[in-house]
Chains A and B, each alone.
Chain A
Amino acid sequence: MTLLRVRNLRTRFATDRGDVRAVNGVSFDLAEGEILGLVGESGSGKSVTAMSIMRLVPEPPGHVAADSLAFDGRELLQLSEAQMREERGSSMAMVFQDPMRSLNPVLTIGRQILEVLRRHQKLDGPAAKRRAIELLETVGIPSAEKRLGAYPHQFSGGMRQRVMIAIALSCNPRLLIADEATTALDVTIQAQIIDLVKRLTRERGTSVIWISHDLGVVAGLCDRVNVMYAGNVVESGPIRELFHRPSHGYTLGLMGSTPRVDGVGVRRLTPIEGVPPNLIEPIKLCPFLPRCRVSVPACQATPPERRDLGGGHWAACLADLAPRSVAR
C-alpha cells in the first residue's frame, strides 16, 4: 500500500535575484511501514521536500507545486490550511534537528504534550495526563510523572529529542518525518534515538522519512534511500542494493567521502571537489557534471535519464559505474 505518492514536486522561493528552484521535480513513493532515507549535502533540497509535504513552506516567498502529492489518497495541495492543520500532528508529524530549540522554553514538557493531545484527540484532564505519562515512558524517560512539570532546559539533548518523538508519535501518525533528528546528538545518544524510532515505528506500522546527511545512520535504519542533489533525486534504491552498487557519480562521491569501519579497503577519504550549482540558473545537463569524477563524453551532450538497474534501483546517470563499485 502506498501511503505517500510524490510526483514532480517543485518548490521555489522568490528572491530578488530570481526564483530558487529548491526542489525541482522530486518523485517517489512511500509504502506503508516503510522507512525511507533522504540523503544529500546541505542545500540539496531534503528539508524543503519534507516541509513541502507537510505544507509548512511559507508562501510567499515559497511556492509549492506538484503533479501529485497524495497522502493516503488525498491530494495535499488541494487541502485548505485548516484541513492541513487537522492532519499535521495527527496523521503526519515531524521531528526537527535541534532538540535544544524545538521545544518551547517557557512551557512545561507536560503542557506541550497535553496541547497536542487536546488538539487532536480531544483528550483532557486525568485521561490526557495518563496518556502523556504513558508516552514519556514509551520513549524511555524515567519517572515520567514527575517529568511532566519540568521545563525543557532541565533536560539533556537526548531527553529532549525523546520528548519530541513522544509528542510526534502522540496521536499515532501514519507518517513521521525526521529532519536530521539525530545530527545534533552525540553518537551514543544518536544510536539510542535511532533504535527508539525503529522500534516504535515498526510496532505501529508508521512510515518514516528520515532525512540525514549521514550515510551510516541511513544504512542502519532505512529500507530504501533517495539520494538528492540540487533539488532532485539522482539515485534511489533499496538500501543494500544502493550501497553495494552506487550508480550515480554523486552517490559514489558521497560514499568516497564517508569513513567506513567495516574494513573494506584501507583508503583515504576523497572529498567532492567544487560547490553545488546555483539553483537560480536553469540546469539543463546533469547538475552534478561540473564536480563529477566519472563523467563520460555523453554527459556534455544530453541530460541523464532515469536508468533502471533492477530491483527498484535506478539512477539518473549516464556513466556505467557497475565495475567500479565502492569496494574498489
Chain B
Amino acid sequence: MIVETGHFALVLALAVALVQSLVPLWGAAQGDVALQRVAAPAALMQFALVTVAFLALIWAYLTSDFSVQNVVENSHSAKPLIYKISAVWGNHEGSMLLWVFILALFGAAAAVVGQDMPLRQRANTLAAQGWISTAFLLFILLTSNPFARLDPAPLEGRDLNPILQDPGLAIHPPLLYIGYVGFSIAFSFAAGALLSGRIDAAWARWTRPWLLVAWIFLTLGIAMGSYWAYYELGWGGFWFWDPVENASLMPWLSGTALLHSIIVMEKRDALKVWTLFLAIVSFSLSLLGTFLVRSGVLTSVHAFATDPARGVFILGILIVFIGGSLALYAWRAPMLKQGGLFAPISREGALVLNNLFLSAATATVFVGTLYPLALEATTGEKISVGAPFFNLTFGPLFLALLMIVPFGQSLAWKRGDLAAVAQRLVAAGVVALVAGALVWAYASGGSAVAALGAALSVFVIVGSFIELASRAWRSGGGLGLALRRAAGLPLSAWGTAMAHAGLGVTLLGLSATWWGAEKILTAKAGETLEIAGYQIKVDALTPRSGSNYTEMVAPMQVFRDGVKIATIEPSKRNYTTRKMPTTEAGIATIGLGQVYVALADESTPGEIGMRLYWKPLVLLIWIGSLVMSLGGALSLADRRLRIGVARRAAPRAAVPAE
C-alpha cells in the first residue's frame, strides 16, 4: 500500500507542478493577483507530495520489500542499514527521484524565503521552477518508475553494486545533486527576470545566496566523488578527465564564473545580461551532466548499464529547456537596461577577466567531452580525448587564472591601482619563489612543473590573506589592534580569502603528485618492501568475511626507520550475491601524505601482486575543496548579503504587491 501511495503522490505532484508552471504565469501576464499567489502554495504542496513519494521508496528499501522491482535489483536483506538507504539513490530510478525531491525542496524554500520579492517576479520564478519539475516528474513516471511491482516477487534481492557500498558514495549523490539542482534556482530567477523584464541589483541579492548554496554543495560533491574514486576504485588516481567527471566540472566552472559576475551586478549594477546568460548556461550544463550520466551516450569509466530510451527523453528535456531559455534570452535580453562600462584596472575589471578565463576553461572541457560524440555522429570515427588533451588546454587557462586571483582580490572597485597592488603582493611572490625553490631542491631532478605548481599555489594562498592583512594592519596600530580589525572584517571578505586559499591548497596537493612514487611488484608473505623511505612488511594472506562479502586480506605493517607507524589491510573482496570482485585499497595516512596499496588477483599461490604508491600531500587536494566550501559558507553567513537585512534597515514604506 505504501508503495502505491508513493506512486500516487508522484502523479499528484505532477498535476500540482503543472498548475505551478501555468497558472502563476498566466496571472503574471494578466496582472491577476490571486492567480499569481497560487505559485507559493503549489510549490509547497509539490514538495510535500514528492517527499511522500521519496519516503515511500526509502520505506520499501528499509523493509526489503522485494515485490518492488527497484528494491530487488539494488538491495539485499543482508545489506547493512546505511546501504539500504543509500541504495535508494544508488540506481537510476531512485537517483532521479532524489533529483526531483531536491528540486521540489529548493522550489519550496524559494517560495518561503522569496516573500520579499515583488509578486510578479516571484510568480514567474516559481513557474519556471514548475516547468523543470513537470519535465522531470514526467520523465520518472513515463520511463523510470521506481515503484514498479514484480509478480511473482523473488525471495531475495540482487544486492547493490558492491563498489557503491561505501559511505562515500552514500553521500556523494545527494551533495552533487544539491549542487546541480541548486543552479535551477538561479535559472528560474533568470527566467523570471526575463519574463518580468526587470533586473537590477536586488535580483543579484536574491539570487546570490542560492547560488552560493549550490556552489558549496557542488564543490563538496565533486571532492567527495573524487576521493571515493581514489580509495574505492583502487587505481590510485583521483581524477580521470572522464566524461562523467567533466559533466560535474562544467557546471562548477560556469557556476563559479556566475558567482563572480553576480557580485559585479550587485555592487556596480553592470554585467547584467551576461550574468543572466551564465545563470542559464550553468543550469543547462547541469542538465547536460544529468543527460551524459544517465543516457550512456559517452563511454565512461563510471558508466553503469543504461537505457537509450531514457537518453532520448532527457535529450528532449535538454533541447526544450536549453533551447527555450536561450530563445527567451535572445528575445527579452535586448530589452533589459544595460549596465555601464567600467575601467579595466579595477575589481570589476579583474572579475571580468576571471569570467573570461572560467568561460574559456568551461569551453575547453565542453569541447573535449563532446567532440568525440560529434565526430562519431558525423564521420563514424571513434576517438577518445583524455588527460593529455585537458592538461594542455584546461591546464594553462586555469593556471593563468590562478595567477591573477590575488591581484583581482586586492584591486579596489571602480579604479584600482595595479602598481600598489603589485607592491603589496611582493611578499607573497617572495614566499612563493622560496617555496618553489625548496621544492626544486627537495625533489632533486624533479619536474619543473611541480616546482612551478607549488610556487603558484603558495602565491595564491599567501596572496589571498595579504589583502585581509593589509586591511587589518594600519600603520601605528600594533598587533592587538590589527587582530581586532581582522576579526571585525566582514565575513564575506574572510569567505573570499578562504575560498581562494582553498584553491591554492588543492593546487599544492596536485603539484605534489609529481614527487610521489609508484611501484608494481609481487611479494611473498614475510617480505619487506620499500617505497620512498617507508618499509612495508607483508603478512600472509588471510580470508575474512563480512555480512555480504568474503575477502582475502593482506595485512601489512608500515615502518619508518624501524618504527612502526601504521597497519593497513588491503584486500580483494568478493561480493557473494553479485559474484563481483572489488579491490579495497589499504591506505595509511602519514601527515598529509598516504601510503596506498592495491592488490592484484592472486595468480600464483603465496605470491601477492600489488601496486604500491607513496602520495605526498595528497590529502591537500580534498582539504583544499573543504576550505573552498568553508569560504563559501562564510560568505553565505555574511548578514549584509541578505536581502531582508537591507530591507529592514530601510524605512518601511508601504509597498503594496503590484
B partners with A: no
B residues touching A (Cβ–Cβ < 8 Å)?
A: none
